[in-house]
Structure 1
Amino acid sequence: MDKLVGLVFLLCGLGLLCAAVAAEIAWLGFFFGTVIVGIGLLFFAPALLLLPLAVSVEGTITDPK
């Protein structure tokens, strides 16, 4: 019985280890992916970074004169 309980604990520990490694890989992919996309926007589409200003209330008001 003790061997069975030990085996269950070992399998649970290995499962938690695999889940932690998978979560770390996903976090690193998300973090570096957003940084790479941000740098790409700076170089290839800088106008998109100013888009919120263009669609805001201040950006749509023009002087009719």
Structure 2
Amino acid sequence: MPWLQAISAEAFKEHGLRRSFGFDYIPHLVVIGKDGRIAANLNFYKKEQLQQVLKKLN
């Protein structure tokens, strides 16, 4: 499955990606739905949940 990845030197600053996407650790998975909204925030170390999330979106 191809996907887009993002990195930001300012991710953990107050105004960075951390606040926008609501995560406190890396790596972190954010699933964006077809409507452009966040469909899921997943702890990377529980990534087995990703398949369940993707099934719900289809």
TM-score scaled by length of structure 2: 0.23
Higher relative contact order at CA 8 Å, sep ≥6: structure 1 or structure 2? Answer: 2
TM-score computed with the length of structure 1 as normaliser: 0.22
